[in-house]
Every structure is written in C-alpha cells, then in structure tokens.
C-alpha cells in the first residue's frame, strides 16, 4: 500500500475515532452501567452446554440471519455454539468504552480462565490472568497523559499465552459487516490477534450504533485482522463463518 493511501486511511480512521468518542461522551452513567450488564448476557451461549445436541451441524447451529429478529434479546435466542475450551481472552474497559467488568466476572465465576492485557510500555504484548475485580489495580497515565486500563496484580504471561484462548474479545470504535474493526489506534490488538490459533473466535465489542450495516465501511489495511462476531449491549451477531 502506497504512503499516500496509508496516510489517507489513517486520517479516516482518526476522524472516525474522534466522532465515536464524541458520541460516547453523551452516554450517561446509568446507561453505561446497564450496558455492561447486558453485554455479559450472550456469554452464556458461548459456554459449554451439556444439553447441546452433538449431531447438530455447528455451522448451521450458530448462523444468524441479519434480516431477522430486530430485537437484540430475540437475536440471542438464535446463538447456539458450544466452545468447550476453558480459556478466553478479553480486556478491561476504560473511559467511554462499554463496561466489560460484568463480562469478565461472568466468565471468571463460571470457571473460565480469563486472560487480559498487560500493556507494559504500551507496545509490548503481554497477558495476565483475571482473578476478580478486587485484584485489579489502577495504572499510571501514559507519557502523553492518556489513560490506561486497570491490570491484575498477578504475574505477566508471554504474548503467546493468547494461543490458549478459544474466544477473544477486542475493543472497537466501529465494526462493519465484513468484520473490519476500528481499534484504539496503537495496533496492539492487531499484533496480538496474529498470535491467535486458527479456530479462535474473535469478537469485537462496541456500542450498538458503532455496528455499521454496510460492507467495507470501516477503513482498513492489509495488516488489520477482522473479527468473526460483534457484541453490543443490544445485539450479538456472527459476521464471518469459520
């Protein structure tokens, strides 16, 4: 990709991020808290279900028609996929993001091993095991004054720890129907996602209005990793078949 194209793509991404942040700041505290609780609900469909019929074709079992069920809770009734592995990778939300602590708590209390980022200098990829919200510690701001997510107090795991995860939740400012995701801008998750195992389910998390009902709507580059599904406080949609 030429430097001019790369520069244009980067500028478009930055503009979309500014617009997203401006709208996110209109969300009140009560709405934000409720959004975190409803975000966690679809996690129940991604945990092992002993009643699942093993003869059902998995590709058909979790398929969701984007044209049906406009209500988010009704859509969730169509999500049925058993993922038996016990490790998930997620992230600790910050600022205007949809709160993820309820999701992390749900996974943790249902005996999932949950990995969350350890940012180090902000560029190094590392992970740590989530051991409940009481174990989280606040982190100092970056050198430029930016906020950083909380981190567990436990030991830091290598970047390759994400290879254990069958589900990976990543933050997004926008996601389109092809799974193209607008991230925070540092490229941390794109580097991390390259280390995922091939069958890992990558789920982008954003506010409902940030799911764009169009193809190729999010500017992206060849190194950007698309997500397989999107989770919002109102909806959970599969975008890509594995």
Q: What are the chain's domains?
A: 3-238 (3.40.50.10420)
Could you tell me which of 211, 205, 233 has the C-alpha nearest to residue 33? 233
Q: Is 183 annotated as a binding residue?
A: yes
Query: Which phi and psi (to 5°) does residue 120 adopt?
Result: 60, -120
Q: Is 105 annotated as a binding residue?
A: no
Q: Parallel, antiparallel, or unpaired: how do β-strands 167-171 and 201-205 relate?
A: parallel
Question: Is residue 176 within 8 Å of 216, Cβ to Cβ?
Answer: yes
pLDDT for the residue numbered 117: 93
pLDDT for the residue numbered 5: 60
Quick check: helix, strand or coil at residue 203? strand
Residues with Cβ within 8 Å of residue 224, at least 6 apart in sequence: 180, 181, 190
- Strand ranges (E), the chain: 87-89, 113-117, 127-129, 136-137, 151-152, 167-171, 174-176, 181-182, 201-205, 211-212, 229-231, 236-238
Q: Is 145 annotated as a binding residue?
A: no
Model confidence, pTM? 0.81
Cα radius of gyration rounded to whole Å, the chain: 17
Q: Is 130 annotated as a binding residue?
A: no
**Residue 214's CB: how many other CB atoms inside 10 A?**
9
Q: Is 189 annotated as a binding residue?
A: yes
Mean pLDDT of each 10-residue bin along the chain, 242 residues long: 70 94 96 93 57 32 36 39 69 94 92 87 83 88 74 92 94 95 87 92 95 92 89 89 56
Q: Is 60 annotated as a binding residue?
A: no
Cα atoms in the Cβ-side hemisphere of radius 13 Å centred on 11: 6
Q: Is 146 annotated as a binding residue?
A: no
Q: Which residues pair with 212 in a beta bridge?
A: 176
Q: Is 185 annotated as a binding residue?
A: yes
Q: How far apart are CA 72 and CA 128, in angstroms?
A: 32
């Amino acid at each position: 990709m030429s430097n001019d194209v790369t520069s244009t793509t980067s500028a478009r991404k930055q503009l979309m991020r500014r617009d997203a942040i401006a709208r996110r700041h209109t969300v009140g505290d009560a709405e934000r808290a409720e959004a975190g609780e409803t975000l966690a609900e679809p996690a129940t469909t991604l945990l092992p279900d002993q009643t699942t019929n093993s003869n059902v074709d998995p590709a058909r079992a979790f398929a969701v028609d984007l044209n049906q069920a406009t209500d988010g809770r009704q859509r969730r009734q169509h999500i049925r996929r058993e993922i038996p592995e016990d490790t998930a990778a997620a992230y600790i939300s910050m600022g205007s993001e949809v709160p993820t602590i309820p999701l992390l708590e749900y996974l943790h209390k249902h005996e999932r091993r949950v990995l969350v980022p350890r940012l180090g200098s902000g560029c190094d990829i590392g992970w740590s095991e989530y051991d409940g919200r009481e174990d989280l510690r606040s982190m100092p701001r970056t050198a430029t004054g930016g906020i950083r997510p909380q981190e567990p107090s436990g030991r830091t795991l290598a970047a390759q720890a994400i290879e254990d995860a069958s589900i990976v939740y990543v933050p997004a400012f926008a996601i389109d129907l092809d799974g193209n995701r607008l991230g925070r801008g540092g490229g941390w998750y794109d580097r991390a996602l390259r280390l995922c195992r091939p069958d890992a389910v990558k789920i982008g998390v954003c506010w409902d209005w940030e799911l764009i009902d169009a193809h190729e709507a999010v500017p992206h580059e060849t190194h950007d990793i698309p997500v397989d599904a999107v989770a919002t406080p109102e909806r959970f949609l599969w975008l890509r078949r594995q």
